[in-house]
Amino acid sequence: MIINSRNLKLLTVKIILVLIYTGFSHQSFSQNNFLNKFFKDFIFTTSLNYISSATIQLNPNNSDLVERNSTTDVKGGYGYGFTLKKRIIGDDIYLGISTEYIKITDDQETDVVENAIDVQTVHVSESLEVIPVEMSLYFNIPRFADNLNVYLGGGFGFYFGSRTRKMVGLETSTISKDPMFSLNVLFGAEYMLDNHFAMNFEIKVRDGTYAVHSRFPTDRVRLNDQVYYFQQDLNSRIYVDGMKVSLGIGYFF
């Protein structure tokens, strides 16, 4: 075959097309292979949660040490949450991110209102709403049953929340909210129902903290034809320090 200029150009074009096709085919295979690996070994869990208690630091900015350390405990509450875990090392180490919604209401609190000659005890309702965003490492311990996985873990989180106080027919409004950082430790177990679904039980201990500035619409109230006064502005710090118990169901990708 005589290779002239025209044949050489056609041959060059064919070689370039083959190389382009081969390159795209290899790239497509590599991308698909990467995506297939990336989207494997995930666990998505949704759960119902119980929080045993929380603590409200009533005057964290007070210069007096006794007043600054004054706290009130509120009873526990319920919520729901979501966790997404990804296996990162071997078969036993996962990295996870989780969030939840917590609602705690305690109607059994009391406070005092006063004037120059009298003091009255009044009924108080405290309500907390909390949304933690946490990241944790999970370590699977050696299995003693094929369908049961037990793990330990710990991590950190930021805690967003609010506080509403109701008293003598008045209710606070929120002026500002400041999330804060805290650590957590946890213990859990997964019971495999089949290759994809598992029942999940988890216990978490933390000291989730956030600050709230709230305000009553007034600093006085009339009771029994007398005017009583109370603190209008409330600068408080909330500690979601009760034990969290979760029961959920997970899906393995």
pLDDT 10s digits, 82-120: 999 999 888 789 999 999 999 999 998 889 999 989 999
Bridge partners of residue 133, in order along the sequence: 99, 158
pLDDT of residue 3: 46
Dihedral over alpha carbons 175, 125, 99, 236 (to 10 degrees): 40
Q: In the predicted model, is pLDDT for residue 240 greater than 70?
A: yes
Mean pLDDT of the chain, nearest integer: 86
Residue 211: what pLDDT? 96
Residue 164 has pLDDT above 80, yes or no: yes
What pLDDT does 68 receive?
85
Q: Which two tokens stand for residue 88?
A: 């990162």
d(Cα 122, Cα 117) in Å, to the nearest integer?
17
Predicted local distance difference test score (pLDDT) of residue 2? 47
Instruction: Domain 41-252: state its class.
Output: mainly beta
Q: Given pLDDT bands bounded at 50, 70 and 90, which one contains residue 67? A: confident
Q: Band the pLDDT of 1: cuts 50, 70, 90.
A: very low
pLDDT for position 12: 54
The predicted pLDDT at position 134 comes to 97
Are the C-beta atoms of residues 94 and 87 closer than 8 Å to each other? yes
Which DSSP symbol is given to 145? Answer: B
High-pLDDT (> 90) share of the chain, %: 66
In this predicted structure, the answer to whether residue 38 has a pLDDT above a threshold of 70 is no
Predicted local distance difference test score (pLDDT) of residue 189:
95
The whole-angstrom separation of Cα 12 and Cα 16 is 6
Q: What local confidence, expressed as pLDDT, does residue 34 receive?
A: 47
* pTM score: 0.78
Which pLDDT belongs to residue 174? 95
Residue 22: pLDDT over 80: no
Q: Across residues 168-178, what is the average pLDDT?
A: 94
Q: How far is CA 170 from CA 111, 125, 166, 221, 224, in A?
A: 13, 10, 6, 9, 17
The arithmetic mean of pLDDT across residues 51-62, rounded, is 91
Instruction: State the pLDDT at residue 29.
Output: 46
Per-residue pLDDT at 9 exceeds 80: no
Which amino acid is residue 40, in one-letter code? K
Q: Residue 230: name the closest of 161, 170, 146 by CA.
A: 170
Give the position of tokens 């039980």: 201
Q: What is the pLDDT of residues 185-232, one digit of tens each?
A: 999 999 999 888 999 999 999 989 999 999 999 999 999 889 999 999
SS3 187: strand
Residue extents of the structural domains in the chain:
1-39, 41-252
